[in-house]
Amino acid sequence: MTDANEFMKVLRQEGQYPHGAISNVWPPIMYLDSIDSALMDKDGGFFGRGLLWKRQRKFLQTDLLSPTAANGYVPGMVQAAREASKGLVHCSSEVSSFMARCSFDLFSSVMFGELTKVANPKSNPDP
């Protein structure tokens, strides 16, 4: 889907508690549930689709997803994606590992402001 207006129609159909990719990340869900974490509740907490999820999401959105904040980290994400696209050719036999490296590059560029370049083996990411 390439039309943003059509995509918004899909998102609006999700209702008050939309589905997110994080709800499929089972290892931290199982762990947090086993230690009775405050991030969890009967609806899955931060990883679910209930009231707790919405409250926690709104809290995070305030600082992480505001336009001002995004202006600070989106350029790093773009650079991480650009670097990763160069590395795909070298990682075609191990796509799962490549995707994990891409995720790490994006995460570290957003959270730490550091581009690790681990998704492209030709970039010599080791110091």
Cα–Cα dist 98/106, whole Å: 12
Rg (C-alpha) for the chain, rounded Å, is 17
Q: Which runs of E-coded beta strand occur in the chain?
A: none
Cα–Cα dist 18/36, whole Å: 24
By the 8 A CB rule, do 44 and 29 touch?
Answer: yes
Mean pLDDT by 10 residues, the chain (127 residues): 67 74 79 86 80 80 75 88 86 86 88 86 71
Give the CA angle between residues 105, 48, 33 to the nearest 5°.
90
pLDDT for 3: 66
